[in-house]
Structure 1
Amino acid sequence: MSSPLDSLKLALEHSPENVPLLLLYAKTCMEELQLADARETFLKVVRLEPANAEARLGVASVVHLEGRGSEAAVRAEQLIEEQPQYAPAYLFLSRILAGEGELGRAKILYAKALELDRTLADVSLEKELAESRSNPGSEPRGPRKVGVTAGGDYLEGIGSGDDDDSADGHSRGGAAFDLGLADFEKPKLKFEDVGGMDAVKEEIRMKIIYPLQHAELFKAYDKKVGGGVLLYGPPGCGKTLLSKATAGEIKANFIALGLHQILDMWIGNSEKNMHEVFELARKNAPCVLFFDEVDALAADRRDLRQSAGRNLINQFLSEMDGADSQNEGVLILGATNAPWHIDPAFRRPGRFDRTLFVPPPDEPARASIIDVMAKKKPIGELDPKALAKKTEGFSGADLKAVFDLATEQVLNDAMKTGKVIPLTTKDLLKATSRHKPTTRAWFESAKNYALYANQGGFYDDVLKHLGLLK
């Protein structure tokens, strides 16, 4: 008996440019978690009909499922900018922002979605947004958005709330306070708190830790402290955690940045924000400057036709080079799930000159992660090694999902009896059968790039992990 996908594929062979059929196929692919096929099909519709809002929102949805939340938000913002009457885009962006804790902006967008289409009411989202009424800090600070076309171009975006000028009429954009960086942290986390990833840790030691510990020796070789390291790999494998641990190892300041803290709808402010961030790091060296989802800020300029995106990338490159100020003592860490979208100029020596693959944790690392996760839960009999053997390919985030699933089941039984029921290995093993590793979809995409776009052996580590290169 053929599956719905097989039937749709057969129909598309006879009518390959049938847009409604392509949309149905793409949605079915998403339901089956065949994200690469879904994205490719949505993009085909966009090529056939560039203004097709359903297809463009579909691309954003796939990107979001792949773990690139900031890029998904930017795509949705641009769709709203170009088609302000398309209600589903407001709802989609509202859900993303609510998930990130930006309840004020999410509430405004949800209200707009309902104003355009009352049938989009979402009871669970409404409950989440209700929290913003008692949380003034979640209200929007003003417009800070840009859009991105289906081809990846950055454009000016929509505003929400009042303008971002201070009482004296001067723009506040670019200040560390406005970027939410006035109080940054010195993490207490160390490498010993992060399971596995020994090769990656050693690379980081050579780049930043050893130069600080053996300053005179490195100075004799004219080896400076600082530079850039790009961490890439499947989502949920500890890139952010490792970055914090790096700062903890050297007792350095740690500044974590997201896309929303840099991008600004006003021309020139994004570049100004980028400069302010680097200046803040230089003044507080030694400092680890961490860019999450860095591919959104360092996109390949060959894919950009608008000047705004190019200008920001050029500013980023200039700051990394230390053209106007020295970056001594500043380690720039970038994390991405999609290194193939990053401009090649960022991989030039002196910028992200170390590119490190962060794979899913191996068996000993998974056992270590399981031990850590078990500490805050009522645990009965637990065999981390047995559980680690059954979770090949699971990321740290996947292991957390396993604990969540097992906990939900045990809580259900506990509520019936009114007593605390400890989690056991059996409960956790049962939960692993209900959760599939999310890293598989990433490796499907990465394999293609590693096999067919591996200039200079950039993706050799991916091929080695997959057993395709010795």
Structure 2
Amino acid sequence: MIESLAAAVRAAPDDLTLRLHLAGLLVDAGRGPDAIAHVATVLAADPESAQARELMGRAMGPAPVADSPAPETHAPDEAAAPTTAEPATFDWHAAESDLGEPVGPMFVDGSTEDPGPAPYDVEAAGIRLADVGGLTEVKKRLEASFLAPLRNPELRALYGKSLRGGLLLYGPPGCGKTFLAKAVAGELGASFLHVSLADVLDMYIGQSERNVKELFEVARSSAPCVLFLDELDAIGGKRSLNRSSGARTTVNQLLTELDGVGSDNEGVFVLAATNHPWDVDPALRRPGRLDRTLLVLPPDREAREAILRTHLRDRPVERIDTRRLAKATDGFSGADLAHLCESASENALMESVGSGQVRMIGMADFDQALAEIRPSIGPWMETARNVALYANASGEYDDLAKWLRKKR
């Protein structure tokens, strides 16, 4: 009978009634260890089964003695007295207390849990404007339009200079706008919060606006803080060109936070950067918001030489004429100069690998790299020239037009 039931259980493993019947026969036959596995399977599927609990207690109890004496016979009219005691029931409460603290489930569904605010990192700037090579005119404009009023509160009060509004840095890509923003934070002794498109944009309706609100709340709680909006044209593009209602409402929330509606932006200095200021929503650039604009141009000759020295400082170089290189790289952005140093280093590395002898980086490596690398800001200059010529009726791009005339 046991073997037949075992075969039936193997054929129908989900039949709990059949499995309990087999476990009962195994216990009665003194095969408690074999019965435990079947009872455990039933309890895993139905922890409240009283029959399974009772069988588990019997299976874990002492096995019956095989050679027990035959029971005494009684007369038909005589009550039959039980000859053996009932096996003790397994104490589940005692077993649970022995286990100590309950073990948590292996898997949980956290979909209903509130994930809390997004983790935005506020960092120390660690650099000053003195660490920025060259860009003398840019530093002067920064000092006059942004830093001097902040450093001199008495003079600011005397002249009625307001701290409302922010600063928009624009210019070709790779010219150090982010580095300048960090240097401004260092000059102010403020923390630095870098905001990119990935920190704001979200696939769910309303979450992008909530992200903007949380970013400003983090900046306010970390004041004094420089809140740097990178690639502003992607975060705050013209609403008239946005077909997505989510993009338009995100710009609306950004405008609300810049105005400090419902919150005080005291100690929060807003800086933004973009390569295409003509694609930024005009409302973001009205007085009281990002009302000061600073053109960050490709590095001049002095700045190019400083950038080259910085990138070559930790490399094995020999007799490098940085002055000649700075003269030969007119129109290169900071990113282009970093790429030039990488290419020259790669030339020396590959030759060292081929010859088996390590050598220094020399001017020949830079000459070879210069023959292959061209400035990367050409496409931007074409777009900027069209804007300066045909979309500058308000005069907001006069600095850009003046620089482009010099570059002809």
TM normalised by structure 1 equals 0.61
Does 1:275 find its partner at 2:213? Answer: yes
Q: Is the contact made by 1:259 and 1:293 (CA closer than 8 Å) also made in structure 2?
A: yes
Q: Is the contact made by 1:460 and 1:469 (CA closer than 8 Å) also made in structure 2?
A: no
How far apart in 1 are the matches of 2:225 and 2:132? 20
Q: Is the contact made by 1:300 and 1:342 (CA closer than 8 Å) also made in structure 2?
A: yes
Structure 2 vs 1, CA of residues 217 and 435 (structure 1 numbering), >3 Å: closer, same or farther? same
Deviation at 1:207, TM superposition (A): 4.2
Q: Is the contact made by 2:164 and 2:289 (CA closer than 8 Å) also made in structure 1?
A: no
The aligned residue for residue 345 of structure 2 is 407
The aligned residue for residue 151 of structure 2 is 213
The aligned residue for residue 196 of structure 1 is 134
Deviation at 1:171, TM superposition (A): 4.2
Of residues 384, 395, 420, the one that matches 2:358 is 420
The aligned residue for residue 362 of structure 1 is 300
Deviation at 1:325, TM superposition (A): 1.5
Q: Is the contact made by 1:295 and 1:341 (CA closer than 8 Å) also made in structure 2?
A: yes
TM-superposition CA deviations, 1:291-326 (whole Å, max 9, x none)? 111101111111123321111111111111112212
Does 1:447 find its partner at 2:390? Answer: no
Deviation at 1:469, TM superposition (A): 10
Structure 2 vs 1, CA of residues 251 and 226 (structure 1 numbering), >3 Å: closer, same or farther? farther
The aligned residue for residue 312 of structure 2 is 374
Percent identity over paired residues: 45
* Structure 2 counterpart of 1:215, one-letter code: P
* Structure 1 counterpart of 2:115, one-letter code: R
How far apart in 1 are the matches of 2:192 and 2:203? 27
TM-superposition CA deviations, 1:3-27 (whole Å, max 9, x none)? xxxxxxxxxxxxxxxxxxxxxxxxx
TM-superposition CA deviations, 1:435-466 (whole Å, max 9, x none)? 01001111011101111011311221221111
TM-superposition CA deviations, 1:375-429 (whole Å, max 9, x none)? 0111100111100110010001001111111111100111134333211233213
Structure 2 vs 1, CA of residues 326 and 200 (structure 1 numbering), >3 Å: closer, same or farther? farther
How far apart in 1 are the matches of 2:146 and 2:219? 15
* Structure 2 counterpart of 1:390, one-letter code: A
Q: Is the contact made by 1:236 and 1:396 (CA closer than 8 Å) also made in structure 2?
A: yes
* Structure 1 counterpart of 2:110, one-letter code: A
Q: Is the contact made by 1:228 and 1:350 (CA closer than 8 Å) also made in structure 2?
A: yes
* Structure 2 counterpart of 1:228, one-letter code: G
The aligned residue for residue 238 of structure 1 is 176
How far apart in 2 are the matches of 1:360 and 1:197? 9
Deviation at 1:468, TM superposition (A): 6.2
What pairs with 1:67-466 in structure 2 (closer than 5 Å)? 167=110, 169-172=112-115, 175=117, 178=118, 180-181=119-120, 183-225=121-163, 227-466=165-404
* Structure 2 counterpart of 1:203, one-letter code: R
RMSD: 2.1
Deviation at 1:216, TM superposition (A): 2.0
SS in structure 2 opposite 1:326? coil
TM normalised by structure 2 equals 0.70
What pairs with 1:8-87 in structure 2 (closer than 5 Å)? none
How far apart in 2 are the matches of 1:466 and 1:209? 28
SS in structure 2 opposite 1:438? coil
Q: Is the contact made by 1:208 and 1:331 (CA closer than 8 Å) also made in structure 2?
A: no
SS in structure 2 opposite 1:288? strand
Deviation at 1:170, TM superposition (A): 4.3
TM-superposition CA deviations, 1:246-283 (whole Å, max 9, x none)? 11112210000110111111111111110111111112
Q: Is the contact made by 1:299 and 1:343 (CA closer than 8 Å) also made in structure 2?
A: yes
Deviation at 1:345, TM superposition (A): 1.0
How far apart in 2 are the matches of 1:237 and 1:402? 15
SS in structure 2 opposite 1:227? coil
* Structure 2 counterpart of 1:383, one-letter code: D
Structure 2 vs 1, CA of residues 280 and 434 (structure 1 numbering), >3 Å: closer, same or farther? same
Q: Is the contact made by 1:229 and 1:334 (CA closer than 8 Å) also made in structure 2?
A: yes
How far apart in 1 are the matches of 2:150 and 2:168? 20
Structure 2 vs 1, CA of residues 185 and 408 (structure 1 numbering), >3 Å: closer, same or farther? same
How far apart in 2 are the matches of 1:279 and 1:229? 20
* Structure 1 counterpart of 2:317, one-letter code: I
